[in-house]
Amino acid sequence: MLKQISLFNFRNYQDLCLNTDSDSIVLYGDNGQGKTNFLEAVYYLAFLRSFRISSIRSLKRITTNGFYVSGLISLKNCSWDRKIEVEYINNRRRLKIDNLPVRKSADFIRYIKPVIFSYEDINIITGSSKLRRRYIDIFISSIDYEYFSALREYTVALKSRNALLKNNDPEKSKMIAAFEPILASNAVKIIKRRYEYIEKLKEKTLKFLNEIKCETLQFDIKYLTKINYDKISEDEILDRLEMNRSKDIKNGFTGTGPHSEDLDFIYNKKSLRYYGSLGQCRTVSLCLKMSELNLVRKFDSTGNVLALIDDVTGELDLKTKNSFFRTISDADQLIFTLTDSGRSEEYFNKKMKLYVSEGEIKPY
Ligand SMILES: Nc1ncnc2c1ncn2[C@@H]1O[C@H](COP(=O)(O)OP(=O)(O)O)[C@@H](O)[C@H]1O
Ligand SMILES: [Mg+2]
């Protein structure tokens, strides 16, 4: 459980120290007061990323040169609380656990597993392929350490290969080839796991959809990759990289691989992205996130699954809402944000209530 959080110069929070020692917290507030920013800070502390953007720089309060977030976390089977801290100043990040510096982010992100539900989840279905890759990468990384490290190694090697592809050195072909075995060995791990976890997500999402829709519908998540599951091997990927090398040199970037793959969400045999109604896309994205929570719960070893629910319950119909509330109760701790719409909801009655206004949080 996240028992306490402190923010300094994070978005519109100048200096906040908040007791969060409750398994269900509701943050009320008008628009633009800092509700989403608060969830973003919690998510960042847990996973060192933002769920909104990829640039960490915009998290610091405007006109300042950095931010600080820290939290006190209780762990199952452990009698003392951990203090985790992130300081981000002049574009440099420093991590600490119990006052001792931590170098590897993998060692830092194992204390809380956050799952965010946001109005923008629909973009996973309808937005760019980059968003879908980001989604699937964050999801698998959060439950599979080997995926996390394979992805990091792959990304570093890809950057180096792309940098060489861009410059005009006549000797570069040999150097480019030198990065290919690292790309291939990590691509194998990435693609294999993507197949496996996408299959799990698909099964669960279909289950939730059938529950909510009360009809048997067809749903599929197609993994758009050039490598069939039974052909995933380093040799296969190395061959492809070699075959495409001269084309890549001409284009100045690596054309194929996990960094350019995509997903397609199929609902009653049609691609949602192109043919889905807004309502269908919303329902599927919600069920997808519910499945994610379900799977994070299943693979979690921290005992600290934290669901962050950013004002998504207001417009759900009764059936969907019931299914949603039932599913999120699997999390160890829940933090909701609500504008006016949710105030009368009975479900929120007995929770710890807070009020957000202009970057300050007070008891409600
Ligand atoms: N880096 C930043 N520095 C200072 N203020 C920021 C920063 N980023 C966003 N804000 C402010 O935060 C407010 C929006 O907060 P947000 O949490 O998104 O609101 P909501 O309560 O509607 O979820 C806006 O007033 C915006 O100007
Ligand atoms: Mg918001």
pLDDT in tens, 27-72: 999 999 999 999 999 999 999 999 987 689 999 999 999 999 999 9
Residue 96 lies in a domain: yes
Does residue 302 have a pLDDT over 90?
no
Residue 326 lies in a domain: yes
Ligand 1 contact, 310 CB (< 6 A): no
From atom 5 of ligand 1, which residue's Cα is the shortest distance away? 12
CATH code, domain with 64: 3.40.50.300
CA dist., res. 131 & res. 137, Å (int):
10
The tens digit of pLDDT for each residue in 339-359 reads: 876 667 888 888 999 999 999
Out of 9, 10, 12, 59, mutate this one to test ligand 1's pocket (max ligand atoms within 8 Å of CB): namely 12
Tokens of 296: 């994070």
pLDDT of residue 287: 97
Q: What is the DSSP secondary-structure string of 33-73?
A: SSHHHHHHHHHHHHHSS-SS-S-GGGGBPTTSSEEEEEEEE
Which domain covers residue 310, as residue numbers? 1-112+303-364
Does residue 247 have a pLDDT over 70?
yes
For the chain, the domain total comes to: 1
Residue 125 lies in a domain: no
Distance 339 CA to ligand 2 centre (A): 9
Tokens of 200: 């799990």
Ligand 1 contact, 61 CB (< 6 A): yes
Mean pLDDT of all residues belonging to the chain? 94
**Which pLDDT band, with edges at 50, 70 and 90, does 25 fall under?**
very high
The tens digit of pLDDT for each residue in 270-293 reads: 999 999 999 999 999 999 999 999
Residue 75 lies in a domain: yes
| pTM (predicted TM-score) | 0.95
Judge contact between 154 and 180, C-beta under 8 A: no
Ligand 1 contact, 35 CB (< 6 A): yes
Residue 45 lies in a domain: yes
Quick one: average pLDDT of 19-34?
96
CA dist., res. 292 & res. 139, Å (int):
7
The tens digit of pLDDT for each residue in 162-221 reads: 999 988 777 788 889 999 999 999 999 999 999 999 999 999 999 999 999 877 899 999
Does residue 131 have a pLDDT over 90?
yes
Distance 153 CA to ligand 1 centre (A): 34
The alpha carbon of residue 321 and the mean position of all alpha carbons in its chain are separated, in whole angstroms, by 22
DSSP assignment letter at 116: E
Residue 206 lies in a domain: no
Ligand 1 contact, 58 CB (< 6 A): yes
Residue 173 lies in a domain: no
Residue 137 lies in a domain: no
Q: Residue 60 CA: which ligand 1 atom is closest?
A: 1
